[in-house]
């Protein structure tokens, strides 16, 4: 056997086989080195990452399918919620418009009520205001005593006729004709007496007219 092996090793086919075997061994050593390197990296990554709830590829596939279905359901619910939100927004806008209309009507009714109250107050206060205006006008332009006090009537004083006065003067002149000096003294005395009598009558008239006003 040993001789046969030596002969076989010397053959070209055996040399090619051994050469390929060495190359394969070198490749295996390289793969082992790389595998050890990546395994170390994998261990470090696994230390950082959390544990996965599934252990096989099938579990991964089931998890992905369920998550996809859940996302589709969530998208459908989101679309429905968006439509409902649009409807609610329209309803809120309509309600806001109705509220604005009600506010305007309320303001109009309050204005009408206030205007009616103002008109009623003006009607109730119209007579006192007219009375105040009339009193103010009377204060600014007081009426005459005849118009304001009809009880104060002018006194009719009987007038002395001039003929009677002249006759009295002629009688006095005839009686006292020789006494010229005395006549000259009496003439200036008679005139002031008449003046004083007329002035006293005027004062009495003014007092009589002014007494009701006081």
pLDDT of residue 98: 92
> Rounded distance, CA 135 to CA 129, Å?
10
Q: Give the pair of three-digit tokens for residue 140.
A: 């600014």
pLDDT of residue 90: 92
The 3 state secondary structure assigned to the chain is: CHHHHHHHHHCHHHHHHHHHHHHHHHHHHHHHHHHHHHHHHHHHHHHHCCCCCCCCHHHHHHHHHHHHHHHHHHHHHHHHHHHHHHHHHHHHHHHHHHHHHHHHHHHHHHHHHHHHHHHHHHHHCHHHHHHHHHHHHHHHCCCCHHHHCCCCCCCCCCCCCHHHHHHHHHHHHHHCCCCHHHHHHHHHHHHHHHHHHHHHHHHHHHHHHHCCCC
Q: What is the pLDDT of residues 70-103, one digit of tens each?
A: 999 999 999 999 999 999 999 999 999 999 999 9
pLDDT of residue 51: 61
Instruction: Kindly tell me the sign of the dihedral angle through the C-alpha atoms of 198, 202, 205, 211.
Output: negative
Contacts for 54 with CB less than 8 Å, ≥ 6 apart: 60, 62, 63
Q: Is there a contact between 179 and 115 (Cβ–Cβ < 8 Å)?
A: no
Q: What is the pLDDT of residues 93-134, one digit of tens each?
A: 999 999 999 999 998 888 888 888 777 776 666 555 565 665
Determine how many CB atoms are found less than 10 A away from the CB of residue 163.
8
Residue range 25-34: average pLDDT? 90
Query: Whole-prediction pTM value?
Result: 0.29
> Rounded distance, CA 9 to CA 4, Å?
9
> Rounded distance, CA 127 to CA 133, Å?
10
Q: Where are the domains of the chain?
A: 1-47, 65-142, 150-210
Q: What is the pLDDT of residues 159-203, one digit of tens each?
A: 555 555 555 555 555 545 544 444 444 444 444 444 444 455 555
């Amino acid at each position: 056997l040993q001789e046969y092996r030596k002969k076989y090793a010397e053959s070209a086919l055996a040399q090619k086989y051994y050469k390929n075997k060495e190359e394969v061994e070198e490749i295996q050593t390289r793969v082992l080195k790389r595998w050890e390197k990546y395994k170390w990296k994998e261990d470090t990554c696994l230390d950082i990452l959390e544990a996965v709830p599934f252990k096989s590829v099938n579990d991964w596939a089931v998890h992905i399918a369920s998550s996809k279905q859940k996302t589709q359901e969530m998208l459908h619910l989101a679309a429905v919620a968006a439509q409902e939100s649009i409807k609610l927004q329209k309803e809120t806008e309509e309600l806001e418009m109705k509220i604005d209309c009600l506010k305007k009507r309320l303001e109009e009714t309050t204005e009408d009520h206030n205007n009616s109250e103002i008109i009623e107050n003006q009607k109730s206060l119209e007579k006192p205001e007219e009375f105040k205006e009339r009193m103010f006008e009377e204060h600014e332009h007081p009426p005459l005593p005849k118009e304001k006090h009809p009880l104060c009537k002018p006194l009719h004083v009987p007038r002395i006729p001039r003929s009677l006065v002249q006759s009295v003067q002629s009688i006095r002149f005839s009686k006292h004709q020789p006494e010229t000096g005395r006549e000259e003294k009496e003439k200036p005395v008679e005139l002031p007496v008449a003046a004083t009598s007329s002035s006293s009558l005027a004062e009495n008239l003014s007092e009589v007219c002014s007494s009701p006003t006081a």
